Amino acid sequence: MTSGGDAPGMNAAIRAVVRTAIYHDLHVYGIMNGFEGLIKGNMHRLEKGDVANIIQRGGTMLKTARSAQFLTSEGRQLAYESIQSNEIDGLIIIGGNGSLRGALDFTEEFQLPIIGLPGTIDNDLYGTDFSIGFDTAINTAVDAIDKIRDTADSHNRLFFVEVMGRESGYIALFTGIGSGAGNVIIPEVESSVDNLIHYLQLAAKRDKLFSVIVVAEGSKLGNASELARIVSEKLPYTETKVTVIGHLQRGGSPTCFDRVLSSRLGYAAVEGLLQGIHTKMAGIINDKIFFTPFQDAISKKKEINPELMKLVNILAL
């Protein structure tokens, strides 16, 4: 099942799970609409042909939805009864922090073998270098900023571009480096409006006539619109514009990297269950498969590499 926000590559993971399970002579069922579908018993058996021609599609063929009912013990009881009636022996849940938290509660109550896959563009789960959908999201954002730079250059403007990521700055950081942004504002690194103003003043002294500032939506300094307003007040000679890329980052055909990552993780999830591994998230660290306990995956902080922030500052000189 897929749960929470959709992420490009989820279909590739579904495909890998189904075909690996069938390779091992297992019956595999797709649960529609996440935990809500699990509660209602909305599931059907999947065969090889059902996952043909989906590896290149964004979104999720199993759909996804939030479920307030699953947050209650009564809702989880209904979900477990649905699992029993359909003779399900284990679950593979593809989703983000909230999905794995729900999986942890569920397996602790009913001791059902569950493996999670990190399906979130935010790349904020501990226990994997990259999550499913992250690479596609940053490529989408970079492509958008490449286009924004054209008009920023033509009109000598300062653009504040806001990207997704909730409280994680990974999308902003990688997008900023990849797009040649002048500065990156992320929640993990302390900064100030004064520092931003200082950077812009230095840029003006060296006749840098335009710039792009990438802002993570969880920035503690404020969102892109707020920062643009403050800068306009302090530097009235600067013409500022704001672009919020938004949900464009969640859609689109997954990159090759995301397709390969999703395929490896889907395969690993099935193999893990067969080896007796459960209550863990499958991830890739240094190009090797690792299984991280749910509790660690959702509670431990995934640190930003300080060298990458240093790189942003050096390349913006």
Specify the pLDDT at position 209: 56
Q: What is the pLDDT of residue 180?
A: 93
Q: For position 66, what pLDDT does the model report? A: 87
pLDDT band at 117 (very low <50, low <70, confident <90, very high): very high
Q: What is the pLDDT of residue 153?
A: 82
- Structure confidence at residue 207 (pLDDT): 66
pLDDT of residue 33: 97
| Domain range summary for the chain, segments of one domain joined by + | 10-133+254-299, 136-250
Can you tell me the mean pLDDT for 253-275?
98
Per-residue pLDDT tens over the stretch 66-75? 899 999 999 9
What is 10-133+254-299's CATH number? Answer: 3.40.50.450
Average pLDDT value for residue range 75-86 = 96
**Annotated catalytic residue within 122, 124, 135, 258:** 122
Cα Rg, the chain, nearest whole Å = 22
Q: Quick one: average pLDDT of 103-122?
A: 97
Tell me whether the CATH fold assigned to 10-133+254-299 matches the one assigned to 136-250. Answer: yes
The pLDDT of residue 291 is: 98
Per-residue pLDDT at 118: 98
122 among known catalytic residues = yes
Asked if pLDDT for residue 218 goes beyond 90, the answer is yes
Residues in CB range of 147: below 8 A, 6 or more apart: none
Cα–Cα nearest to 100, from 218, 18, 4, 8: 4
For the segment 25-44, what is each residue's pLDDT rounded down to a tens digit?
Answer: 999 999 999 999 999 999 99
Q: Find the mean pLDDT for residues 250-267.
A: 98
Which pLDDT tens digit goes with each residue over 275-299?
999 999 999 999 999 999 999 999 9
Can you tell me the mean pLDDT for 91-112?
96
Q: pLDDT band for 136, please (50, 70, 90 cuts).
A: very high
Which residue do the tokens 């999947």 mark? Answer: 46
Q: Residue 33's Cα: distance from chain center in Å?
A: 18
Is the predicted pLDDT of residue 208 greater than 70, yes or no? no
Distances (CA, A) of 9 to 30, 31, 36, 94, 297: 16, 17, 22, 10, 20
Q: Where are the alpha helices (DSSP H) in the chain?
A: 10-23, 34-40, 73-85, 97-110, 134-155, 170-179, 193-205, 224-234, 256-274, 294-299, 306-315
Q: What is the pLDDT of residue 43?
A: 97
What is the structure's pLDDT at 243? 96
Q: What is the pLDDT of residue 40?
A: 95
Amino acid letter for position 239:
E
Name the CATH architecture for the domain at 136-250.
3-Layer(aba) Sandwich (3.40)
Provide the 8-state DSSP code for 255: P
What is the share, in percent, of the chain residues with pLDDT greater than 70?
Answer: 99
